[in-house]
Structure 1
Amino acid sequence: MKNQKTFHRFIQGARVFLREVRQSDVNETYYQWLNDPEINRYLETRFVHRSLDNISEYVKIMDAKEDEPFFAICLNDNQEHIGNIKLGPINCHHRNADVSLFIGKKELWGQGYAAEAIALVTEFAFKKLNLNKLKAGCYAMNLASAKAFIKCGYQQEGLLRGQVIVDAQDMDVILLGMRAVDFWNSK
């Protein structure tokens, strides 16, 4: 997996494309997403107040990582950055990786953009990177996220009971996964 950067500059989909997150993406809109309690309610990033400086530093760090492709989800029609999706860290020994994402533009929630981004990064992971397994987790109340992964062929593989605290209540985490063999058998 040496220098994956050559592989993941651009992934085209029907309504969105994925490209690397850039410093030029670090703007007031991105800042608002990461500090909006409704958007980050189910994200671990909610525990740290985000500033333009620490967002910029995070993008810089992620850009240097070869084992964690970090993509901006952008609309085809106007190139607008609407969220992010990350693959990794990639475990080269076991050929697996995590998938995590968010759609920052709330007006687009529930319209299938997350599922399209998941499908694109899943295809990339299995076809281009030859991974064997992808996994994801989501808070149990975040049913939209679970449905997006299931729509893309992921299966619920487990449940971590009382794993996280949200609004002073413990909440389960749904574990989802897809194996390469299942991906190829669905084609």
Structure 2
Amino acid sequence: MEVFKGERLYLREINISDISDTVMAWFDDEELMKFYTSSKNKITKEKLLSSIEEGKKDGNLFTYGIFTNDANILIGTIKLGPIHFIHKTSDLVALIGDRNYLGKGLSVDAISLGNQLAFEKFNLRKLYGGMYESNIASIKAYTRAGWLVEGRLKGFYEVEGRNEDRILVGCFNPRYFSEEEINQIKENENRYFPIR
């Protein structure tokens, strides 16, 4: 089975047998799920397994486990997709679910491995995503993993009766984007979100 390995973590496609009660408990953790899905729909084991199986069958959505190198423990997931094969673009969503591994910079490592996976295995041109403006930890994790802030959608979310902006981020495969194009995006980042 193909593995994408970094210094502290590795990614491999998740198996049905990996989806334990411990993993499913991540999706019951309100604080972890606060920003994970904007639909606020409960993620059940049946829905998760169905999503993994359908994505593989359709060939456009893949779920990878984030594992520690030292203890071989599943601590989270990377979801790549849906992939738009004509334009070679995809969303990439990272979740560190095991609370014992939060706050250690492992999200940055996992997202960086996700970038590598998307660009090397799937030859994607661009990854994109969006997050709540108040989700500072995720914005910082993605930007530290090489993503750039490229926009803001005003009042995209409604949170407890108030409007909250969506911060748009992207990661650009240097095989398809020139250094000049990437630098132009970097120069505009602070217009949308002051991250540094």
TM-score interval, smaller chain:
0.7 to 0.9
Shift of 1:184: 8.2
Match of 2:75 in 1: 82
Equivalent position to 1:93, from 86, 91, 104 = 86
Shift of 1:64: 2.5
Equivalent position to 2:117, from 117, 124, 134 = 124
Letter in 2 for 1:77: D
Letter in 1 for 2:79: K
With over 3 angstroms needed to count, the CA separation of the structure-2 counterparts of 1:57 and 1:148, relative to structure 1, is same
Match of 2:158 in 1: 165
SS in 2 for 1:38: helix
Equivalent position to 1:114, from 107, 111, 114 = 107
SS in 1 for 2:49: helix
Is structure 2 residue 54 aligned with structure 1 residue 61?
yes
Equivalent position to 2:44, from 26, 33, 51 = 51
Shift of 1:36: 1.0
**Bigger shift: 99-108 or 49-58?**
49-58
SS in 2 for 1:136: strand
Letter in 1 for 2:83: I
Letter in 2 for 1:52: K
Shift of 1:72: 0.7
**Bigger shift: 67-76 or 38-47?**
38-47
Separation of aligned partners in 2, 1:47 and 1:138: 14
Separation of aligned partners in 2, 1:52 and 1:128: 28
SS in 2 for 1:47: coil
Separation of aligned partners in 2, 1:71 and 1:65: 16
Encode CA deviations 1:86-113: one digit per residue, 9 max, x unaligned: 1111111111111111111123222111
With over 3 angstroms needed to count, the CA separation of the structure-2 counterparts of 1:142 and 1:125, relative to structure 1, is same
Letter in 2 for 1:137: G
Unpaired segments ≥5 residues, structure 2: 183-196
Match of 1:39 in 2: 32
**Bigger shift: 165-174 or 117-126?**
165-174
Encode CA deviations 1:48-86: one digit per residue, 9 max, x unaligned: 233333333333323334122210111111111111111
Shift of 1:170: 2.4
TM-score between the two structures when normalised by the length of structure 2: 0.82
Separation of aligned partners in 2, 1:136 and 1:49: 21
Match of 2:194 in 1: none
Separation of aligned partners in 2, 1:45 and 1:9: 31
SS in 1 for 2:149: strand
Shift of 1:45: 6.6
